[in-house]
């Protein structure tokens, strides 16, 4: 994240100069993973995103559909444990389980776009105070490409879910929460550590590099800003989660 980047010109929508076609889709995809500094320089100069956006949303939706039977079974078990299923007609229970699957797929398609828009907006706000260059479109594109680790994490988690019983679905983790026993799953520490996910941290690092390329600033400074926001969010969500868990 401490790499120094050469200044880039803000995207004007003009075609690239002859002989400077930049990276193609596959070169960008591999570059974001293996050489993010170079890849995000190219992305900032030519902010195209439809290809990677469609790939992430389609794969994310497919993964949600693939794991939906496990989610439905987990929901049914939860309703039985709380006694809610006993007061529901069979057709209502079946409809509820169907809606759970549909909502999971829809969320997998819609929520990433919302998150990318929020990330771009927060970085654009940061740019207003630091006089950073770049447009909202460039920042949004950087956020989309920086989401690749999250997609990889989704694939890993899907593989784990498919090998896990429905009862233990909530314990599937790729975060530091793995260091704690399941008995602490509702504690503040467990919920906080569950936010320290390897793929999430990787994505944040890429976002800092991409935003640094767009804003023509040090990725370390942008990364510090993003890390503070993420830390506050993780603490807040863990606090709310542990509070409500204690009320049950």
pTM to 2 decimals? 0.86
How far, CA to CA in Å, does 191 sit from each of 139, 157, 177, 179? 30, 17, 7, 12
Q: Report the run of H or E that residue 104 belongs to, with start and end.
A: helix 90-130
The structure tokens 């929508």 sit at 13
pLDDT digits (tens, 9 = 90+) for 112-167: 999 999 999 999 999 999 888 889 999 999 999 999 999 999 999 999 999 999 98
pLDDT digits (tens, 9 = 90+) for 44-82: 999 999 999 999 999 999 999 999 999 999 999 988 888
pLDDT digits (tens, 9 = 90+) for 100-112: 999 999 999 999 9
Rounded (10°) CA dihedral 152, 213, 136, 50: -40
The reported pLDDT for the residue numbered 39 is 96
Q: How confident is the model at residue 18 (pLDDT cuts 50, 70, 90)?
A: very low
Work out the percent of the chain whose per-residue pLDDT is above 70.
91
The reported pLDDT for the residue numbered 20 is 56
104, 64 Cβ separation under 8 angstroms = yes
């Amino acid at each position: 994240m401490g790499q120094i980047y050469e200044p880039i010109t803000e995207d004007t929508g003009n075609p690239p100069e002859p002989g400077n076609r930049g990276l193609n889709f596959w070169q960008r995809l591999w570059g974001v993973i293996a050489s993010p500094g170079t890849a995000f320089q190219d992305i900032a100069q030519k902010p195209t995103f439809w290809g990677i956006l469609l790939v992430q949303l389609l794969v994310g939706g497919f993964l949600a559909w693939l794991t939906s039977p496990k989610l439905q079974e987990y929901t049914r078990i939860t309703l039985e444990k709380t006694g809610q299923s006993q007061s529901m007609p069979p057709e209502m229970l079946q409809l509820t389980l169907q809606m759970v699957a549909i909502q999971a797929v829809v969320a997998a398609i819609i929520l990433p776009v919302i998150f990318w828009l929020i990330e771009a907006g927060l970085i654009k706000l940061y740019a207003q105070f630091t006089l950073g260059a770049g447009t909202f479109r460039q920042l949004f594109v950087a956020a989309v490409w920086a989401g690749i680790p999250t997609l990889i994490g989704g694939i890993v988690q899907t593989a784990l879910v498919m090998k896990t019983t429905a009862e233990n679905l909530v314990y599937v983790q790729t975060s530091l929460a793995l260091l704690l026993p399941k008995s602490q799953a509702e504690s503040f520490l467990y919920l906080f550590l569950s936010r320290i996910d390897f793929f999430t941290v990787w994505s944040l690092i890429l976002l800092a590099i991409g935003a640094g390329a767009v804003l023509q600033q040090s990725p370390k400074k942008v990364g510090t800003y993003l890390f503070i926001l993420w830390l506050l969010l993780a603490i807040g969500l863990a606090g709310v989660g542990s509070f409500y868990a204690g009320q049950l």
